[in-house]
């Protein structure tokens, strides 16, 4: 987690106890573990290196990660999201990534689990993603199913919104889950105003980067008819994205694949990580490049001033290909 040119945090979860509950004596309807996050921050690292680690005894505690390259060095990352249900499908998506990509880091567009407060779901998530996450840095975005839970922040050393640089590219991750951001309408409005102010300052400071990428859970544009118009706070950010010359934006929330070209920006929706699929029944006219009702993930390769983006099904079958320049 939080991998940078000279530092990184290695995290793991320890099950310290578990509780069983049922509606009759001796009957167990559900068992939930008590999970304790452990972490170790490594410093004094060098850019563009691969490091191996062993956090605890056994193969599950071993892994590796890369630090960001200096300057325009090449790198690869993978984007996917909405892994909250259909665990067999989630497992197939992860296997597809392991087979068809070699990411330096992962960007998850949110809804990691069905309910972030339910500790029984997190071991399932990590068991499925473990082979991937043990060998790549992980940068998550907050989804509505995380429910702004303290588990999300504690288990992932995560923040609601943040940014980082990798090579000559700048990445901004924002919290689009306004409904769970605060208990009252006034507090939610204050949170959104504060985050939007931070976002503009962040993008303004990143104008020297070759590429600027935004990640969040809720998309401003969608081909899912019953979702259209449901994220006006995100749609209202589009002029800001255009003002600061965003290269591409990546979202989840809608369980399918979508790609739009609007205002000089590529918008991608990649919510095909395991949650039940949605129809793409109302593609917006004039801006739609590709929509598909399918599980998917994106492989993004950055090399100097060139970006190659490929959307794949878990089988490796190509869905869409895009080449970008600054």
Question: At 23, is the pLDDT very low, low, confident or very high (cuts 50, 70, 90)?
Answer: confident
Average pLDDT score, the chain: 96
Residue 105 has pLDDT above 90, yes or no: yes
What is the Cα–Cα distance from 196 to 235, expressed in whole angstroms? Answer: 13
Q: Which tens digit of pLDDT belongs to each residue from 264-310?
A: 999 999 999 999 999 999 999 999 999 999 999 999 999 999 999 99
The pLDDT value given to residue 227: 95
Task: Give the residue-averaged pLDDT of 58-72.
Answer: 93
The pLDDT value given to residue 26: 78
The pLDDT value given to residue 31: 86
The pLDDT value given to residue 24: 83
The pLDDT value given to residue 325: 80
Helix H or strand E encompassing 270: strand 265-270
Tell me the DSSP string of 218-234.
S-SS-S-GGGTTS-HHH
Residue 99 has pLDDT above 80, yes or no: yes
Question: At 154, is the pLDDT very low, low, confident or very high (cuts 50, 70, 90)?
Answer: very high
Highest CATH level, class, for 71-324: alpha beta
As a residue count, the chain comes to 326
pLDDT over 90 percentage in the chain: 92
The pLDDT value given to residue 111: 98
Residue 326 has pLDDT above 80, yes or no: no
The pLDDT value given to residue 20: 85
230, 190 Cβ separation under 8 angstroms? no
Instruction: State the burial class of residue 256 (Cβ atoms within 10 Å of its Cβ: 0-12, 13-18, 19+).
Output: buried
What is the Cα–Cα distance from 295 to 256, expressed in whole angstroms? Answer: 6
Residue 148 has pLDDT above 80, yes or no: yes
pTM, 2 dp: 0.96
User: For residue 61, what are the CA distances in angstroms to 56, 121, 284?
Assistant: 5, 20, 46
The pLDDT value given to residue 27: 82
pLDDT over 70 percentage in the chain: 100
Angle formed by the axes of helices 87-100 and 122-133, nearest 10° = 10
Residue 51 has pLDDT above 90, yes or no: yes
What is the Cα–Cα distance from 27 to 33, expressed in whole angstroms? Answer: 17
């Amino acid at each position: 987690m939080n991998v940078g040119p000279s530092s990184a945090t290695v995290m793991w979860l320890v099950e310290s106890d578990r509780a069983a509950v049922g509606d009759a004596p001796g009957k167990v309807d559900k068992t939930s573990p008590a999970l304790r996050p452990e972490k170790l921050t490594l410093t004094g690292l060098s850019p563009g290196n691969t490091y191996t680690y062993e956090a605890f005894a056994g193969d599950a505690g071993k892994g590796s990660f890369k630090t960001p390259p200096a300057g325009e060095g090449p790198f690869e990352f993978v984007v996917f999201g909405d892994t909250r249900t259909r665990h067999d499908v989630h497992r197939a998506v992860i296997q597809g990534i392991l087979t068809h990509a070699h990411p330096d880091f992962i960007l998850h567009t949110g809804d990691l689990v069905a309910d972030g407060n339910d500790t029984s779901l997190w071991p399932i998530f990590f068991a499925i993603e473990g082979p991937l996450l043990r060998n790549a840095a992980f940068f998550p975005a907050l989804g509505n199913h995380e429910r702004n839970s303290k588990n999300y922040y504690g288990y992932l050393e995560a923040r609601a919104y943040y940014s980082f640089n990798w090579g000559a590219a700048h990445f901004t991750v924002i919290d689009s889950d306004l409904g769970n951001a605060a208990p009252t309408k006034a507090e939610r409005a204050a949170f959104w105003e504060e985050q939007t102010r931070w976002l503009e300052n962040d993008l303004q400071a990143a104008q020297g980067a070759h590429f600027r990428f935004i990640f969040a859970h809720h998309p401003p544009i969608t081909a899912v008819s019953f979702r259209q118009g449901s994220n006006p706070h995100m749609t209202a950010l589009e002029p800001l994205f255009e003002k600061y010359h965003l290269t591409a934006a990546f979202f989840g929330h809608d369980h399918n694949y979508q790609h739009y070209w609007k205002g000089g920006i590529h918008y991608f929706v990649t919510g095909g990580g395991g949650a039940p699929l949605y129809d793409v029944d109302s593609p917006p006219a004039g801006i739609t490049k590709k929509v598909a009702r399918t599980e998917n993930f994106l492989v993004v390769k950055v090399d100097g001033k060139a970006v190659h983006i490929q959307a794949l099904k878990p089988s490796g079958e190509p869905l869409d290909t895009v080449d970008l320049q600054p």
